[in-house]
Amino acid sequence: MKTEKILGYEVHRKKVKNINLRIKENMEIYISAPENLHSDYIKNFLISKEKWIKNVLKKLEKIKEERKEKEYITGEIHNFLGQKYILTVKNGNFNRVALKNDKKNEIILTVYSDIFDNSEEKKKILEKWYFENAKKIFLELLKKWMEILNEDVKKFLIKPLNKKWGFCNYTKRYVTLNVELIKRTPFEIEYVILHELAHLKYPNHGKGFYNYVEKYMPNYRNAEKMLSAKHHY
């Protein structure tokens, strides 16, 4: 297999019919092209894909940044109700989290001096704050949608979920939401609540289920796209 540089990209000449362009999750760009295809054709193809390549790399960089382990230090970005907030960590005579919305969105985390450099303890304080907000906001929205749909649930839970935004046990009439939803927009939160409540009437994801969801939220597909980062309902 012959490899050549075109516009700074490595192009692998192979026994293929078309040019193939892939960007891997590690941001590696892989390009293969037919063995006898003229280099000018490949060059024009790459120029036409330049904007797309930049956009994909930008998205992957963003995902990489979001997945990075938080240190809970001043300057970090944390999300709340779909907005980005700058974390400011301060010494104090108490442990407290406060939200500041003015020229810059800010989460102010005040902690005792003996845990100022303790990431795990600061994480616990912030996670408790997220959970308390989730309890209040999710319950309000759940009540709103139960009234709209004329439904009720016997148990409502909020907890960390692995690869799920929420789920519904329709036989026991239990609804569980992922606490991480508190970092998403109210629109996304409401969609997940509607989605789970709809399962009380339609247990599976058939046509009837989506017709029912669409009746109450015609733009639900927008929420699905926003939530589509490898999570299920």
| pLDDT score of 67 | 65
Backbone angles phi, psi at 85, to 5 degrees: -125, 140
CA dihedral 106, 111, 113, 114 (to 10 degrees): -130
Q: In what order do the strands lie in the sheet with 105-111?
A: 77-80, 83-91, 105-111, 96-101
Angle of helix 50-67 relative to helix 39-48, nearest 10 degrees, comes to 50
| pLDDT score of 164 | 92
Please write down the HEC assignment for all residues of 76-116.
Answer: CEEEECCEEEEEEEEECCCCEEEEEECCCEEEEEEECHHHC
Residue 72 contacts residue 53 (beta carbons within 8 Å): no
Task: Please tell me the distance from the alpha carbon of residue 82 to that of residue 181, in angstroms, as a whole number.
Answer: 9
Positive or negative, the Cα torsion across 129, 131, 134, 135?
negative
| pLDDT score of 210 | 96
User: Per CATH, which fold does 131-226 belong to?
Assistant: Zincin-like (3.30.2010)
Domain residue ranges in the chain: 2-67, 77-122, 131-226
Backbone angles phi, psi at 231, to 5 degrees: -115, 155
**DSSP 8-state code for residue 164:** B
- Alpha helices in the chain, H assignment, sequence order: 39-48, 50-67, 119-149, 186-198, 207-216, 220-226
- Which residues are CB-contacts of 3 (< 8 A; sequence separation ≥ 6)? 10, 11, 12, 13
Task: Please tell me the distance from the alpha carbon of residue 31 to that of residue 9, in angstroms, as a whole number.
Answer: 8
Backbone angles phi, psi at 194, to 5 degrees: -60, -45
Task: Please tell me the distance from the alpha carbon of residue 43 to that of residue 25, in angstroms, as a whole number.
Answer: 24
pLDDT in tens, the chain (233 residues): 788 898 888 999 988 989 999 998 788 899 999 988 999 999 999 999 999 999 989 888 877 776 678 899 999 999 999 999 999 999 999 999 999 987 789 999 999 999 999 999 999 999 999 999 999 999 999 999 999 999 999 999 999 998 899 999 999 999 999 999 999 999 999 999 999 999 999 999 999 999 999 999 999 999 999 998 544 54
